[in-house]
Structure 1
Amino acid sequence: MTEPRPDEPPGPHQPSGSPGSLGDELTRLAALHGVAASYSPSPGRTVTASATAVVAALAALDVDVSTPAAARAALTARERERDERLLPPTVVCWLGPTDDPADGPAGGGGPAVEADAGLPPAALAGLPPGTRLDVETERGETRSWVHGVDGTDRVDRLPPGVHRLTATAPDGRTGQAHLIAAPPRLPTPAGRSYGLLVQLYSLLSHRSWGMGDLGDLAELSSWAGRALGAGFVQVNPLHAAVPGPPADPSPYRPSSRRFPDPVHLRVEAVPEFAYAEDRVRLRPLLERAGRLRAAVLDAGALIDRDAVWELKREALELVRRVPLGPGRRAAYADFLAEQGRALEDHATWYALAEVHGSDWSRWPEGLRDPRSAETARARAALADRVDFHSWLAWLTDAQLTDAQRTAREAGMGIGIVHDLAVGVHPGGADAWAQRDHFAAGMSVGAPPDAFNARGQDWGLPPWRPDRLAASGYAPFRRLLRALFRYAGALRIDHVMGLFRLWWIPRGLPPTEGTYVRYDAEAMLAVLVLEASRAGAVVIGEDLGTVEPGVRETLDRRGVLGTSVLWFERDWEGSGRPLPPERWRADCLATATTHDLPSTAARLTGEHVELRHRLGLLTRPLEEERAEAAADVGEWLALLAELGLLRGTDDGASSEEAGIQAVHRFLLRTPARMIGLWLPDTVGDRRPQNLPGTWDQYPNWRLPVADAEGRPVTLEDLAASPRLHALTDVLRTDARAAPGDTG
């Protein structure tokens, strides 16, 4: 979901007006439910939201505004509920003070912080004096006090966690709320480090089955940590995909974010593989795997995820016939018990999808409800397939955990950085299992801006903020806890979604959407709580248009930002490239991302030529070339001025010298984390994803390749002089104080 930061406001094609043009009652009702009646795409400019979108968003929140009378009744009811309730559904309490988070290493964990905690005044504003407050903690302990007595509302040594708060007013009224008690800030990475960024499927080794797998991830992490001095490896989302064929190759539109995809399994690393007796059937599968690998590496074929999964599924069906030993059986039983109903639902969806297809909205009506009697009967009838998919989740979880352990044992301070997609497929497992938490008939996207006058529709159903709050953010907590099982850090795609999301009524264009606000304080409290418990770092992808105050709020809670070199300009002043000393420190700084041109393509102008070949340019080719060349020229001039653009006497091409200079520049910034896009190490010209394309370009299906487009294996990378020359720059200077490199 990467979007460039705009340097100009959106065009004048959007209607402007005051919120009152939607009607005062509708505007007030929308505000009470977090639905925006207007928004500001740029300073000093207000745009009225689509009335259709506002009405649809309210309807998705079960608010009846079908007639003026219904809207008035809904407004009266909402205002009465707000005035009469003692507590909101969820209350946040930031614990403090704490030790300096920079004192401990990232990922190392530590004891839970306990401290005096004050409940926020806003949450208690409606409580009459003398109200009794009782907190039942996660540990089953009870803390009690009386509101307003001695002018204080403090809890004695409240532990971190999600607790139950009960208020009893003097007149006998009661109210309950979830109380999220979180440390005030996330742990900060110790020192500074550099790491590799890679789309895992694109990194093949000579042991891969046609796409990169978790064995390759462990191998890459061990090599990068031990031989290159890297502190982390960041990968694409490894969430479970919607099964095909054809499967959607995008890792950002998964079936489930809670559980990983078994297509990433290294089949030979499953312990039972060595004891599989049906070698007659396994041997041809291994031969087919070799042919799949050779097709990509030697014949120029695209990565075929469907073919890879079909092959692995057949092999895993054979491996599953091997009985688990007593220890392995006990570990599997523990996993099933720990994951509980969430895993059962997940595996049930996949078992049902094998019979009825991968869109639950098209299933027989009784099966569309995960809690129906029909679903229970189907689950029992498909018990073996449910167990198969549960077993796959266990195997994948184990290999992910092993990859993180391998990274840390290789000396990485952080290890594997996993990626959390912004949402899930509307027909997938999460949308089925958690259907009550998703807004029916709505899709997430982005409003029109300077780079996309039509806006964007990502085809992802949004979470309902009211249901999240009522549950104490249970789905979000469980999701984060699952990911932090095997992550040293987590990148959150479109982190601005913790604050608000652009909701689009299904079937309408993105221009007909509106923002719906979430309780960002509660979402952040859950994030800080779960990441702190895991000792993990959090990186927020905050590129694109960001409303005022969001970056500052994220920074205050210890969420690192994302800074991409080509977008770091003095947007409010000269517009020139931002000098390194003016970059923010608490960020992951990179030269590019998975859906931007590679650095080699940027320096050579190949990205413009690619868009021209695909017919994607909106201006004459010469204008696009001139603008791209001017942009690069300004950066190269700054690099030369700083003494970072060195000669090519060592045999490096001018393009290689430019890529090295770009990364020397990143080291001049105060950024805590420096990311190196792995394809940049070998001069790959092709983006992994070209936004705005579908069948015109092979998004998410390209292997890492060199400047001539020849696929490069993990073994080739380890022996690449070009890679070592670039990583030597980072390895030598990454630990130096910002500004000391030269």
Structure 2
Amino acid sequence: MKAPSQQHATSPGASFPATSSPEPSSPERSSEAPADNGAPVAGTAVNPELLRWLAEAYGVGTSYQGWDGQPHDVAAETLISVLAALGVHAHTDQLIEHELAEAELAPWRRMLPPAVVIQEGTPGQVSVHVPHGSSVRMWAITEDGRELEAVQEDVWVEPREVDGILTGRATFAVPQNTGLGWHTLRAKAAGVVAEATLVVTPARLSTAADLEQRRGWGLATQLYSVRSKRSWGVGDFSDLAELAAVAGARGADYVLVNPLHAADPVPPLEPSPYSPSTRRFFNPLYLRIEAIAELAYLKPKKQSLVHNLMKRARKLNNDATRLDRDKVYSAKLAALELIFDVRRSPSRQLAFEDYCRRAGAGLDDFALWCAIREDLDADDPFWADPTAALGSPLAEKLRGELAERIEFHRWLQWLCDEQLESAQQAARNAGMRLGVVNDLAVGVDLQSSDAWTLHGVLAPGVSVGAPPDMYNQLGQDWHQPPWHPTRLAEAGYKPFREMLATVLRHSGGIRVDHILGFFRLWWVPEGNSPVDGAYVRFDHDAMIGILALEAHRAGAVVIGEDLGTFEPWVRDYLAARGILGTSILWFENDGDAPLPPEQYRLQALSSVNTHDLPPTAGYLAGDHVTLRNALGLLERSAEEERLEHNAKLEKMMDLLRQRGLLSSSDAGSEQERIEALHRLLAQTPSVLLGVALVDAVGERRVQNQPGTTSAQYPNWQVPLANPDGDPVLIDTLADDDRFNSLLAAVEEAMRS
């Protein structure tokens, strides 16, 4: 593995004209490209060595190390399909040779790279390509409008002929006093001006530094599952504020919630918060209707209609078996439609307009998608029709015709922003140092808003997943389109930046699900099984740098979910950039024994469990073995699984007894063992400790059973309940002995 670079441009296949715009575009191709540049042909034989060279040139891994520790080669057909998704044609030797030449020439065809990402305080160099012998100037324009001249360095590179023009390369040093932020580079030669995005990022994010002096802990929960007497059957933003107040009063520093990303604009809703419609905007399902100021000014008859909707929806709070998002959202939409018609006061109207102005075109495009999606199913041919693409005459015609519905969906996002701000303020008022910590999903659904509005920066014909591992031996396909590395750079990373900025706007931290995807992602070509995929590399210096920059600006801590298969240097790199990792008690082992707490990472959020495992009460009882056996997910007998699970538990209980956290005479009660496990984690040096709310109330059911559909198991639809199966509401937490006992135990252990 080569050492990480401090200067970053796009991947080698991209090409950009000298007078380029930062908007996405297709790579330029030489006029001498072979005519045969169609889709891959099944069974086509190509020179395997040439194909490997081409794949590596474009960041596609030709092999990978499996969970079995053995190397696995990627099939030629898979490499050809993945390269095709990158816009690279490789199904004949002639095309491969042409694309290899293109990869070498592409940087020479553009005056400036589309994006340059450097670390503050680190020298950066930029290559500028101009007709040989031309005088050239480069300068930076900072965010605050300053112009800083770049100095040309004495670096000689032999000129070369590019498309019949002798082209030279001049090397410039990036001005050192730009400061952190999003800037612009410009170069001028032979009367032509080129422009590129310049991003200066923190060398190391320092937002977690305070936690190294005084560690923190907090609650982790699935917000939709946590309700109060005032909920409409699903947890909402006001419930988040109340939960933060209760936990903050007991010493908690944060509340980590599931991704709050927007789903479809009308029922039926996708239950999984990890398969959203967009990662930039929020789900109006979480709105508290009574917190909307305009509700007070509805006429009496409409007030009565909203009141009746509320009464019916609140009855759902008594159901502890399964959440009904569709019924809840239908009721809320009916109420929101009524409230939308209320005229806003001048100050409220100005606040709404200010929000829309800041959110910009991204909000407008999302709202357009919502307005169209209200009438067209996700599988309607409209979405794949190039004549109906965003920006097309048809789409712009609809933008005018649907103006009122677009305004409605913009208004919903303003309300979400307003109520999230209130929740974060409530958390900080309760004494929390971080407050709300949002979760960022890996991607979006293939038939989502982002798939339509961000089509130009997403890779077509592939989806993200994971290769086989010990838990999923057939691999995984998450049915989510990945960023196209080259096109994202050509867009100046703007979509990535805007997404992060919105998620971080009212939060004290962000958990990045599968942060390893910022380094490489497993791409599964359409029609392939998840086994037949390949890793595609991303410019991790740029991606992590931009994440650090936006977190720095928001004053937020970043927690990377770095579990699973990864290259050994990745965790060290994240730590060096100030990104916290994730440690789960049951996954941390020293051989076949539990890892001693002193050996845990300092820069990590450590917790007993995760939402893909049963709550600790259920895990101690082996509920996951029983469930997986009932669902036919076991590769061996339930008895063998249970024996192995019990042996692992006994080793953990032995460690607890050795540490004096459990009596040596017995295993202790369920609650005693759960508290002992959390006291053990408090002995780690990890700067953050996570306490799952389900553990604090004795819930046993898992939120998500990997490898199942909603027909097999109610994934992401399990409301919070106690050991007796009764619903647990936020209103009762302050007097809940089990809740108070665990939180007091954690607070005492963390402060001792």
2:378 pairs with 1:358: yes
Is contact 1:92-1:179 (8 Å) kept? yes
Corresponding residue of 2:65: 40
3-state SS, counterpart of residue 235 of structure 2: coil
1:42-61 to structure 2, matched below 5 A, reads: 45-61=70-86
Corresponding residue of 2:728: 712
- CA displacement 1:501-557 (0-9 Å, x = unmatched): 100011210011101111000101111111101111000001111122111111111
- CA displacement 1:681-709 (0-9 Å, x = unmatched): 11111011111111111111111111122
Residue 296 of structure 1, CA deviation = 4.4
Residue 268 of structure 1, CA deviation = 0.3
Corresponding residue of 1:109: none
Q: Distance in 1 between matches of 2:60 and 2:272?
A: 30
2:285 pairs with 1:269: no
Corresponding residue of 1:628: 645
- CA displacement 1:147-205 (0-9 Å, x = unmatched): 22599946242211122224568x99986532211121112432211100010000010
2:155 pairs with 1:139: no
- CA displacement 1:118-145 (0-9 Å, x = unmatched): 115xx55999999643212222211113
- CA displacement 1:433-487 (0-9 Å, x = unmatched): 1111111111000011222210000010111000111122111001011111111
Is contact 1:604-1:655 (8 Å) kept? no
2:557 pairs with 1:537: yes
Is contact 1:356-1:363 (8 Å) kept? no
Q: Distance in 1 between matches of 2:518 and 2:484?
A: 12
How many residues get paired? 686
Q: AA paired with 2:196?
A: A
Residue 620 of structure 1, CA deviation = 1.2
Corresponding residue of 1:12: none
2:254 pairs with 1:232: yes
Corresponding residue of 1:209: 232
3-state SS, counterpart of residue 375 of structure 2: helix
Q: AA paired with 1:600?
A: A
1:471-482 to structure 2, matched below 5 A, reads: 471-482=491-502
2:199 pairs with 1:185: no
Residue 366 of structure 1, CA deviation = 6.2
Q: Distance in 1 between matches of 2:539 and 2:384?
A: 36
Corresponding residue of 1:725: 741
Corresponding residue of 1:740: none
2:118 pairs with 1:93: yes
Q: Which runs of 5+ in 2 are unaligned?
A: 1-44, 156-170
2:460 pairs with 1:444: no
TM-score (norm 2): 0.87
Corresponding residue of 1:105: none
Corresponding residue of 1:6: none
1:554-569 to structure 2, matched below 5 A, reads: 554-569=574-589
Report the aligned-residue RMSD. 2.5
Q: AA paired with 1:236?
A: N
Q: AA paired with 1:485?
A: R
3-state SS, counterpart of residue 335 of structure 1: helix
Q: AA paired with 1:610?
A: L
Is contact 1:602-1:632 (8 Å) kept? no
Q: AA paired with 2:716?
A: W
Q: AA paired with 1:197?
A: A
Is contact 1:425-1:459 (8 Å) kept? yes
Change (3 A) 1:688 1:656: same
Q: Distance in 1 between matches of 2:530 and 2:65?
A: 16
1:475-554 to structure 2, matched below 5 A, reads: 475-554=495-574
Corresponding residue of 1:251: 273
Change (3 A) 1:639 1:554: same
1:386 to 402, 406, 411: 406
- CA displacement 1:648-677 (0-9 Å, x = unmatched): 99xx96111100000001100001110000
Corresponding residue of 2:311: 290
2:620 to 603, 617, 628: 603
Q: AA paired with 1:309?
A: Y
Is contact 1:426-1:459 (8 Å) kept? yes
Q: Distance in 2 between matches of 1:631 and 1:717?
A: 32
Residue 338 of structure 1, CA deviation = 1.1
Corresponding residue of 2:690: 675
2:242 to 212, 219, 242: 219
Q: AA paired with 2:311?
A: G
2:221 pairs with 1:198: yes
3-state SS, counterpart of residue 258 of structure 1: coil
Is contact 1:418-1:487 (8 Å) kept? yes
Residue 72 of structure 1, CA deviation = 1.8
Q: Distance in 2 between matches of 1:365 and 1:183?
A: 42
Corresponding residue of 1:4: none
3-state SS, counterpart of residue 478 of structure 2: strand
Q: Distance in 2 between matches of 1:484 and 1:446?
A: 27
1:692 to 707, 718, 742: 707
Change (3 A) 1:309 1:387: same
3-state SS, counterpart of residue 691 of structure 2: strand
Q: Distance in 2 between matches of 1:648 and 1:211?
A: 43
Residue 361 of structure 1, CA deviation = 5.0
1:97-136 to structure 2, matched below 5 A, reads: 117-119=122-124, 124=127, 132-136=137-141
Is contact 1:201-1:211 (8 Å) kept? yes
2:672 pairs with 1:657: yes
- CA displacement 1:596-619 (0-9 Å, x = unmatched): 121111112222122223332221
Q: AA paired with 2:503?
A: L
Change (3 A) 1:687 1:648: farther
Corresponding residue of 2:453: 433
Corresponding residue of 1:280: 301
Corresponding residue of 1:402: 422
TM-score (norm 1): 0.88
Moved more, 496-505 or 727-736: 727-736
3-state SS, counterpart of residue 164 of structure 1: strand
Q: Distance in 2 between matches of 1:522 and 1:371?
A: 28
1:162-181 to structure 2, matched below 5 A, reads: 162-167=182-187, 176-181=195-200
Is contact 1:61-1:464 (8 Å) kept? yes
Q: Distance in 1 between matches of 2:610 and 2:312?
A: 31
Corresponding residue of 2:15: none
Change (3 A) 1:118 1:220: same
Q: Distance in 1 between matches of 2:290 and 2:648?
A: 48
Identity %, equivalent residues? 44
Q: Distance in 1 between matches of 2:636 and 2:599?
A: 33
Q: Distance in 2 between matches of 1:455 and 1:366?
A: 32
Is contact 2:606-2:690 (8 Å) kept? yes
Q: Distance in 2 between matches of 1:524 and 1:361?
A: 37
Is contact 2:140-2:183 (8 Å) kept? yes
Q: AA paired with 2:342?
A: V
Change (3 A) 1:601 1:510: same
Change (3 A) 1:623 1:45: closer
Change (3 A) 1:181 1:300: closer
Corresponding residue of 2:334: 314
3-state SS, counterpart of residue 337 of structure 2: helix
3-state SS, counterpart of residue 314 of structure 2: helix
- CA displacement 1:107-126 (0-9 Å, x = unmatched): xxxxxxxxxx5115xx5599
3-state SS, counterpart of residue 257 of structure 1: coil
Change (3 A) 1:620 1:336: same
Q: AA paired with 2:682?
A: L
Is contact 2:263-2:283 (8 Å) kept? yes
